[in-house]
Structure 1
Amino acid sequence: MIEKVERLTLAGMGQMPDGTLLERVLPGEEVEVQVDGSARIVTPVVERVKPPCRHFKSCGGCSLQHASDAFVGSWKTSVVERAMTARDLPFPFRTLHTSPPNSRRRARLSGRRTKKSAMVGFHAKASDALIDVPDCQLLTQAIMDGFPALEALTVIAASRKSEVNLTVTDTLGGLDVLVETERDLTGQLRIELAGLAETHNLARLAWNEDVVVTRKAPEQAFGNARVAPPSGAFLQATPEGEAALVAAVLEASEGAKRVVDLFSGAGTFSLPLAGQASVHAVESSDEMLETLDRGWRHASGLRTITTEARDLFRRPLEPDELNKFDLAVLDPPRAGADAQIATLCQSNLKRIVMVSCNPVTFARDAGALIAAGFDLNWIDVVDQFRWSPHIEVVGDFTRK
């Protein structure tokens, strides 16, 4: 039976009238559901395009390459809009920033030994099948050029039956690789791995929780500072996406002299903000704060940055602590920051800029701020996870 696709879910799946979910379809298309659960496109819509990557049908790394850039941008904006309107909130959308192809500077890949060598790639969607991706259109060229090193590491780290996880980051000093494996790190293995890092010109190589060798500083540029985040630590996915987020935060922070950066990480926002204001960075990870502090101390032209290790979910900053600042910046995980938002609402703060990777929790937290007397001046949507359903949002709030 031929039916029309009604809409895309938040996961980018096409939903049919009976609730059936299908991959790689678009709203308005007439499709026939096959026995294996796939869709045969009977009548495509004009938004359908030829996927730019030849691995699209097999690889689980991207899910929206069959849609035009214009459609994806409009759909991602509509996801944010629906999250806001579901709570009767305003949606002052301003602009959309989309990262270009081959700009993803950090990836979590899998490696598996083969009879002759090893394979490194992404898993097929909802599957254990590993897909080789020699022509990936997502990752930076430096990461693609590093696949021989990742394959060599897989030969060492993986058994015949087990896979290994390889988190690779493109840094200013070269590739930073974290290998997660069941194999124990021995003295002889350290020597072998150090030689491999030298042969393949890796900046840093870590084996589970141990850094084996650091040949070059695996640094990122955060404003005028250079920081080397811990192996496998959180990092914005693309330099272009990070630049868009930072530019929005700096614009919303203009004129502030004392800023508190909540969920600061290694200083993505703290260090650029320190070019115009003193900053107090709060983060649960001591290691991330130490990284931030080192970056600040070795940079020039920055104002004071102080740090505080604190679990903001269990122990958010209280109103009297927040009242010391002109502005709060917060970039919480996907769960949002409801506990911290509650104390922000009770404080005397007049300005807040919130970054979020989840439109649903962004809308929830924005609703609390608006109910407490804040206006939402604008929203920027940042699509740095190109061809995926993931969305990031920046909102500028001022109290009436």
Structure 2
Amino acid sequence: MKTLKIDRIGNLGEGVAIDEGEKIFVPFALTGETVLARVEGNYAELIDILEPSPQRIPPICAFYGQCGGCAVQTLNDESYAAWKISLLENAAQRERLSFKILPMINAHGSGRRRVALHARISDGVAHIGFMAARSHRLVEIKHCPLLVAELSPALQAARDLSQILASREKPLDLAITATPEGMDIDIRGAGTLASHEIQALIKSAQAHRLARLTNHTRLVTLIQTPWIDIHGTHTPLPPGAFLQATQAGEEIIGLNILEALKKAKSVADLFCGIGAFSLRIARFARVVAYDNNPLAIEALCTACRQTPGLKPLQAETRDLFNRPLTPQELIHFDAVVFDPPRAGAHEQVKSLARSDVKTIVAVSCHAQSFCRDAAILVAGGYSMGPITPIDQFRYSTHLELVAVFTRQSDPSRGRRRLLG
């Protein structure tokens, strides 16, 4: 056991102490606290808080301190917001970027509408929960206060479905999304199912009134086709499809995008998913949307066909990581929106930096990859506007970011491009 003084909260939400010149990371400890911890290498288990921080408040969840699903629940609102903003400031410093950061917007809304639960089998019994901090050890939970009310039955449903597959003794993940038609669940890690397992899963899905149950996106049973409302557009939800974590988050991001693009006539939506932004933009501008998921593109096309009054919207399956749009292809657009996965859009951003697109709206949930991509655009001659931080991942290390990049008109750029 060691007594440690916490110097700060790190990028993963852990308290950071310095002991004999070495950094020690202590989950659930706060800046300024003196703690008793069991140290192993550079990591420690919090045993007791000897001197608590004045910023410490009670957690909202009984499982906090065991479950690693949340990084920081015990900071007061002001300190919590400052820590979240520090994640962006630290990433910007590493890339030598300077920009204005607007006040953080709370986008938790009614809660998370999607969740990924883990299932582990012990002595033939399925246990459901999240992993402990920095561990592969499952912490079984009975409820999660961050989820929308429609996902209250999710843990029991996940437990019952996993129990049917317990004889396989495989670790499972269950991706669960709340929809108006009921929960949509995709089981991952089970492999090919036997006929008796399929029948038992169908019976359980019916008992839990699921909208749909899939196994690695392959249909097990469909009770009602799940749909999502996107800005007044009825959009089918493909199995395992990406959605913004909260409805409020999607709406706030969408409003920021629409404000930035209100003068645009032709827009490329890159990494478009099922069209959360494309369907909004198509109310006033022509849109060409790209994503590497063919099911998401199909869903976007279906929504477009069923929605009257939209401007022309074309959707194409394309892997922008390996085949980014070239500067020549980008000539046709006066604006681009890109919202890539957490790793960012390195190759596509390098191409954008060489383009003549006037307005680029960058959306990201990861400060480090965002700043790396932003640095490329700035080096390519783009001016960067203020960043809007949006907190739809409450208590986590993730922070949604929206920023607008603009290129001033330069006739010589056009002449250089035409001359090769």
Question: Normalising by structure 2, what TM-score?
Answer: 0.89
- Among 3, 16, 23, the alignment partner of 1:19 is 23
Contact 2:335/2:360, CA 8 A, preserved across alignment: yes
Q: Which residue does 1:54 correspond to in 2?
A: 62
Greater mean alpha carbon deviation, residues 365-374 or residues 184-193: 184-193
SS at match of 1:319: coil
Counterpart residue type for residue 213 of structure 1: T
Q: Pick closer, same or farther for the CA change 1:368–1:47 going to 2, 3 Å.
A: same
Contact 2:108/2:393, CA 8 A, preserved across alignment: no
Structure 2: distance between partners of 1:77 and 1:63: 15
Q: Which residue does 2:265 correspond to in 1?
A: 257
- Shift of the alpha carbon at 1:210? 1.8
Structure 1: 4+ residue segments shifted above 6 A? 114-117
Q: Which residue does 1:321 correspond to in 2?
A: 329
Structure 2: distance between partners of 1:148 and 1:6: 40
Q: Any idea what the Cα deviations from partners look like across 1:113-166, whole Å, max 9, x if unmatched?
A: 567964322222233433332232122222122333222212212227433221
- Among 358, 374, 380, the alignment partner of 1:372 is 380
Q: Which residue does 1:292 correspond to in 2?
A: 300
Structure 2: distance between partners of 1:48 and 1:115: 39
Q: Which residue does 1:30 correspond to in 2?
A: 34
SS at match of 1:6: strand
Counterpart residue type for residue 29 of structure 1: E
- Shift of the alpha carbon at 1:28? 2.1
- Shift of the alpha carbon at 1:178? 1.0
Q: Any idea what the Cα deviations from partners look like across 1:224-271, whole Å, max 9, x if unmatched?
A: 222223222222111111112111111111111110001111112111
Q: Which residue does 2:249 correspond to in 1?
A: 241
Contact 2:109/2:246, CA 8 A, preserved across alignment: no
Structure 1: distance between partners of 2:75 and 2:152: 24
Matched residues, percent identical?
36
Structure 2: distance between partners of 1:370 and 1:128: 40
Q: Pick closer, same or farther for the CA change 1:63–1:313 going to 2, 3 Å.
A: same
Q: Is 1:193 equivalent to 2:201 in the alignment?
A: yes
Structure 1: distance between partners of 2:337 and 2:190: 39
Structure-to-structure mapping, 1:198-237, within 5 angstroms: 198-237=206-245
- Among 160, 163, 167, the alignment partner of 1:159 is 167
- Among 95, 98, 113, the alignment partner of 2:106 is 98
Structure 1: distance between partners of 2:267 and 2:372: 23
Contact 1:101/1:138, CA 8 A, preserved across alignment: no
Q: Which residue does 2:84 correspond to in 1?
A: 76
Q: Which residue does 2:6 correspond to in 1?
A: 5
Structure 2: distance between partners of 1:55 and 1:344: 45
Q: Any idea what the Cα deviations from partners look like across 1:29-84, whole Å, max 9, x if unmatched?
A: 23343357333322222211111100112212112012123222111112212222
Q: Is 1:168 equivalent to 2:176 in the alignment?
A: yes
Structure-to-structure mapping, 1:334-345, within 5 angstroms: 334-345=342-353
Structure 1: distance between partners of 2:146 and 2:406: 37
SS at match of 1:72: helix
Contact 1:92/1:376, CA 8 A, preserved across alignment: no
Mind listing any 5+ residue stretches in structure 1 that lack a counterpart?
none
Contact 1:14/1:26, CA 8 A, preserved across alignment: yes
Contact 1:224/1:271, CA 8 A, preserved across alignment: no
Q: Is 1:395 equivalent to 2:403 in the alignment?
A: yes
Counterpart residue type for residue 151 of structure 1: R
Q: Which residue does 1:67 correspond to in 2?
A: 75
Greater mean alpha carbon deviation, residues 178-187 or residues 353-362: 178-187
Q: Pick closer, same or farther for the CA change 1:190–1:27 going to 2, 3 Å.
A: same
Structure 2: distance between partners of 1:361 and 1:160: 38
SS at match of 1:237: coil
Counterpart residue type for residue 59 of structure 1: C
Structure 1: distance between partners of 2:163 and 2:4: 48
Question: Normalising by structure 1, what TM-score?
Answer: 0.93
- Shift of the alpha carbon at 1:102? 6.0
Contact 1:336/1:365, CA 8 A, preserved across alignment: yes
SS at match of 1:5: strand
SS at match of 2:268: strand
The CA RMSD over aligned residues, in Å, is 2.1
Counterpart residue type for residue 164 of structure 1: L
SS at match of 1:38: strand
- Shift of the alpha carbon at 1:371? 2.2
Q: Any idea what the Cα deviations from partners look like across 1:152-203, whole Å, max 9, x if unmatched?
A: 2122122274332211111121100112243633444444333322222110
Counterpart residue type for residue 67 of structure 2: C
Count of paired positions: 400
Structure-to-structure mapping, 1:122-133, within 5 angstroms: 122-133=130-141
Q: Any idea what the Cα deviations from partners look like across 1:96-125, whole Å, max 9, x if unmatched?
A: 122337611111112345679643222222
Q: Which residue does 2:277 correspond to in 1?
A: 269
Q: Which residue does 1:355 correspond to in 2?
A: 363
